[in-house]
Amino acid sequence: MISVKNLTKKYSFLPKNNSLQNIFSNFFTLKKKENSDFFALKNINFEIEKGEIVGIIGRNGAGKSTLLKILSRIIKPSSGEAILEGHLQSLLEVGTGFHQDLTGRENIWLNGGLLGMSYAEIQSKFEQIIQFAELSAFVDMPLSQYSSGMAMRLAFSVAVHLESDILILDEVLAVGDDAFQKKCIQKILDFKNNQKTILLVSHQLSLVQKLCERVIWLDKGEIMCDDTPQIAIEKYLSTQFSATNIQNSLKKNLKNATRTQEHTLKKEIIFKEIIFNKDVFFPQDIWQISIFLENFEIKNEIKDISISIAIFNQYQERIYHINNVFLAKKWNFSLDFPEKPYIFRISPLRLQAGFYSLNLYMEANNSLQDWVQQQVHFEVQTGHIYSSDQHFAIRALVQADFECE
């Protein structure tokens, strides 16, 4: 059981004022520096019963990590208390306590000991840890030779084999591939079946909805909603889309958009603009997406352009993905026609009403050129399909044909 009562965490900051002139001025005028207080948590109250799986959601800076650190006894609250009954295991940062120069085998012993496992416990569970992480062939290799995914799998495997009554997970399910994530989810369900209490923090809202019986939404250090996953997530998302100030527009300029992993992009050619054929889409609409590119390196010839468009729903699940190479369509950039649009035309998608986002990814000249995520949004509204007087929500994605030119 977890009981949180009137929990507050306040940080005080002194403004920097260290120029020589200000130091002398403050010394002679006896001017006092005023503290600036920041409340990471404000009077938080909730209880979690034994065997519950509770999700914590919210934007970055909402206070989620501060709450978990207080529950894990890493930091102390400014006021209030957090009472935990039973042995607690926290996975706030997967891989903490691992050493790059030691082998996987040696790191299991090291990390297990740091997490509180006894010698006999590590010895009895050693093979289970290795098998769960799927690293039997690499256990005697130095951790420095592991990929980041392999190291994370090993760390997660060690942690979940520790006997505990309460498990706190902070964004640690984004480890490994899909198959390994399914194993992690099954492990969490096994904890639940054994009446373990689980607190899960994640931006993967679909995962939170799938695993949790209850969700707490934090914003600016305060609890905004404590309810069923569907209600809490819908309330959170409604404010999220309001906060992003989505405006229905046919045209979106991408020249100044934030790029993903910008340091890895060659950027000989970039996304300049995207134009939709409609302001707002209805389920029966045919979509046309026109993409305009800009060539930065005028002297370079741009060949074999591959453009991917991925559509994500409000839960950040990818529901549709197209690429011109799927149709064996090859594009080259012509300096004679720099304003030529690269067009994707999609048959009706039958999307449920709501807000969606696009990810754009481009390769050319055998290199990654541009990558824009979560910068383009659009809205689908409920509309008729068979006749003008039939209006209803579409609740499933139908795979649609597409073409490009």
Largest CA-CA distance found in the chain, in angstroms, rounded = 81
SS3 402: strand
pTM exceeding the 0.85 threshold for the entire prediction = no
Q: Does pLDDT of 347 surpass 80?
A: yes
Strand-pair category, 331-333 with 269-276: unpaired
The encoded tokens of residue 222 equal 């305060």
Q: Where are the beta strands (DSSP E) in 176-325?
A: 197-201, 214-219, 222-227, 251-253, 269-276, 287-295, 302-312, 318-323
147-161, 165-179, 263-277, range with the lowest pLDDT: 165-179
Full set of structural domains in the chain with CATH: 2-242 (3.40.50.300), 251-404 (2.70.50.60)
Convert the pLDDT of each residue in 273-293 to its tens digit: 999 888 777 777 888 899 999
The model's confidence at residue 215, banded by pLDDT at 50, 70 and 90, is very high
- Residue 264, CA atoms < 13 Å, CB-side half-sphere: 9
pLDDT at 43 over 90: yes
Question: Across residues 356-370, what is the average pLDDT?
Answer: 90
* DSSP string over 79-118: EEEEEE-S-EEEESSTTTT--TTSBHHHHHHHHHHHTT--
Q: Check if the beta carbon of residue 95 is closer than 8 Å to that of residue 152.
A: yes
Mean pLDDT of 218-236: 91
Rounded to 10 degrees, the C-alpha dihedral 275/277/280/281 comes to -120
The pLDDT value given to residue 37? 80
Of 202-216, 291-305, 390-404, give the lowest mean pLDDT range.
Answer: 390-404
State phi, psi for 171 to the nearest 5 degrees.
Answer: 55, 35
Question: What is the rounded distance in angstroms from the CA atom of residue 160 to the CA atom of residue 165?
Answer: 11
